[in-house]
Amino acid sequence: MFEIDPLLPVALTEQIVRRVGTLVQQGKLHAGSRLPSIRQLAKKLGVSPNTVVTAYDQLIALGAIVAHASSGFFVAESNGGAPLAVARRATASGPIDAAWLARSNLEIDSGWIAAGGEALRGSWLEDVGTTCLARKTVRSFGDGMHVPHSAQGASALREVLALHLRFDGIFVDPNCLITTDCAVQAVDLICRVMLQPGDLALIEEPTTPLLVSRLRHHGVRLASVGRGPDGIDLDRLESICRREPPALVFTQSAVHNPTGLSSSIVNLHRLLSLAEQYGFTIAEDDVYGNLSKRPAARLAQLSDMSHVIYYSSFAKVMGPLVRLGFVALRPALIDAFIHAKLHLVSEYSILTERVAFGMLQSGKYRKHLEQLRRHLGFARAGALSSLSAAGVRFDHGGDGLFLWGELPPCIDTESLARRAFAEHILLAPGSLFQARDACGGATSSRMRFNAAASGDPRLASFLHRSLAVSEPSYNACA
């Protein structure tokens, strides 16, 4: 009937839905045609029956197929000619910027190589079982579905979150936690409470693509400091502080995006000392820290939160079904953050919080993390080997999801990204990780690669052709 590929960064259920939908739209599956049973299709594709059940449920909801009791599943008589999937609108005709990368990562489909994206492989995320847990959660709601929900987040979830953080050496009172939809919402809350238009905010460079645009949206002034193997450039930071201490400093201590590097304990201790001396607050982003195979220190571990606001998210490791993040902060700020959240979001997802609670309380999340790290370790080694052979240079270590590669200096990385886009390859030029207006730079020979997606031979072939090298050599520009 069709095949699926567990190595694609697309969930197996979504691959099944798309394959069946395409066959229906192409007329290869006629109205009234009987589909294989759940067990038959699961056996043929080499997936669990639950995966097929989920895919069939989605196809029924889309109107592509119908279920007849005791008879099986059949292609629907008519779906009104409507397409079964939202049209993909990804394009490289506009500016190559942070919004383009974020939108493209959401809109490209399973035929693409998302080498510049931020997602883990869909088949890895199915191991966590959030779909089954979500079904059980809905069935167990009863009258609880209609009970008003706390803007701070359910107390039971905050308690299990606090316990989860203790495993990483971060001790925080559950009453000092507030849930968010994602890490981006956490940044918005931090900006609303901690910054006023015209304030000075400091970011490390390179930095996450959307952070700069979010800060500019809040009308703040930006300064940037470089980041080295040990962490943020503290001499440069102190020089800025002598002239004008920033109101807020954004940093990633563990598994920095895009470099994959983690800060040393010495660097973090000195950063905390500077915060104490000059009175600024540090916003610590820890979205990717749990993907590290090696222990990494966090500011939240080393401080009493007096100068630190810590935030993270589960969406990357639990999958998009669980869009849940959180912020940990000192007691004096909690009321202000709840007030800001009430103005930002009027309703809160009880279902998402219940699913996350079930994952954390059951211990499945820890086991899932261990499995993800193993998957990522093998994928990272393969991607490094493939990309290095294609002419990309990696000059330092790192860990986790991202690889920060350097291309020959004669290569225009934004033009390269446009050419790759035409071949259904998504790349992330290093210029997207710069605060262009803040530091004056607009070009970069760097590129961020997603280790989970960058071992694909098609990517290596494209880079071989584009870089015009057969070995990792930089003589091609001479």
Helix axes 12-25, 49-61, angle to 10 degrees: 50
Assess whether 213 and 245 both reside in one domain. Answer: yes
Residue 163 lies in a domain: yes
CATH of the domain at 380: 3.90.1150.10
pLDDT bin (cut points 50, 70, 90) of residue 145 is: low
CATH of the domain at 31: 1.10.10.10
What is the pLDDT at residue 478? 43
Residue 80 lies in a domain: no
pLDDT in tens, 167-222: 889 999 999 999 998 898 999 999 999 999 999 999 999 999 889 888 988 899 99
pLDDT in tens, 359-397: 888 888 888 899 999 999 999 999 999 999 999 999 877
Closest CA to 364 of 85, 74, 103, 126: 126
pLDDT in tens, 71-111: 788 888 765 444 444 334 556 667 888 888 988 887 887 77
Residue 137 lies in a domain: no
The letter for the amino acid at 428 is A
CB atoms within 10 A of CB 375: 16
CB atoms within 10 A of CB 80: 6
The tally of domains found in the chain comes to: 3
Helix axes 183-194, 334-344, angle to 10 degrees: 120
Assess whether 284 and 371 both reside in one domain. Answer: no
Residue 153 class from Cβ within 10 Å (0-12 exposed, 13-18 middle, 19+ buried)? buried
Residue 465 class from Cβ within 10 Å (0-12 exposed, 13-18 middle, 19+ buried)? exposed
CA pair distance 323, 9, nearest whole angstrom? 18
CB atoms within 10 A of CB 335: 11
Q: For residue 213, what are the contacts with CB-CB under 8 A and spacing of at least 6? A: 98, 99
Coil/strand/helix, residue 113? strand
- Domain containing 109 equals 98-127+366-477
pLDDT bin (cut points 50, 70, 90) of residue 25 is: confident
Where is pLDDT greater, at 121 or 22? 121
Residue 89 lies in a domain: no
Assess whether 393 and 461 both reside in one domain. Answer: yes
CA pair distance 144, 156, nearest whole angstrom? 14
Following CA atoms 111, 115, 121, 122 in sequence, which dihedral angle do they give, to the nearest 10 degrees?
Answer: -40
What is the pLDDT at residue 198? 94
Residue 3 lies in a domain: no
pLDDT bin (cut points 50, 70, 90) of residue 59 is: confident
CA pair distance 392, 385, nearest whole angstrom? 10
Q: For residue 363, what are the contacts with CB-CB under 8 A and spacing of at least 6? A: none
Assess whether 308 and 381 both reside in one domain. Answer: no
CA pair distance 147, 150, nearest whole angstrom? 10
Q: For residue 392, what are the contacts with CB-CB under 8 A and spacing of at least 6? A: 405, 406, 407, 447, 449, 463, 467, 472
CA pair distance 269, 347, nearest whole angstrom? 39
Span 336-351, average pLDDT = 82
CA pair distance 123, 7, nearest whole angstrom? 7
SS3 content of the chain, % helix, strand, coil (to 5): 45, 15, 40
Assess whether 206 and 178 both reside in one domain. Answer: yes
Assess whether 289 and 437 both reside in one domain. Answer: no
Beta bridge partners of 449: 403
CA pair distance 416, 413, nearest whole angstrom? 5
User: Alpha-carbon Rg of the chain, whole angstroms?
Assistant: 24
What is the pLDDT at residue 397? 79
Assess whether 186 and 257 both reside in one domain. Answer: yes
Assess whether 384 and 318 both reside in one domain. Answer: no
Domain stops at, among 334, 362, 390? 362
Span 265-280, average pLDDT = 97
Assess whether 350 and 380 both reside in one domain. Answer: no
CB atoms within 10 A of CB 442: 10
Residue 435, pLDDT > 50, answer: yes
Domain stops at, among 313, 340, 362? 362
Residue 134 lies in a domain: no
Assess whether 342 and 356 both reside in one domain. Answer: yes
CB atoms within 10 A of CB 235: 9
Residue count (the chain): 478
* Lowest-pLDDT range of 131-135, 387-391, 421-425: 131-135
CA pair distance 124, 49, nearest whole angstrom? 17
Residue 92 lies in a domain: no
Closest CA to 112 of 428, 464, 420: 420
pTM of the model: 0.79
DSSP code of residue 274: H
CA pair distance 323, 314, nearest whole angstrom? 7
Assess whether 35 and 183 both reside in one domain. Answer: no
Residue 142 lies in a domain: no
Kindly report the average pLDDT of the chain as a whole number.
85
Q: In terms of DSSP H, where are the helices of 174-305?
A: 183-194, 209-217, 234-243, 265-278, 299-302
CATH of the domain at 318: 3.40.640.10
CA pair distance 451, 397, nearest whole angstrom? 13
Assess whether 309 and 434 both reside in one domain. Answer: no
Domain stops at, among 362, 385, 400? 362
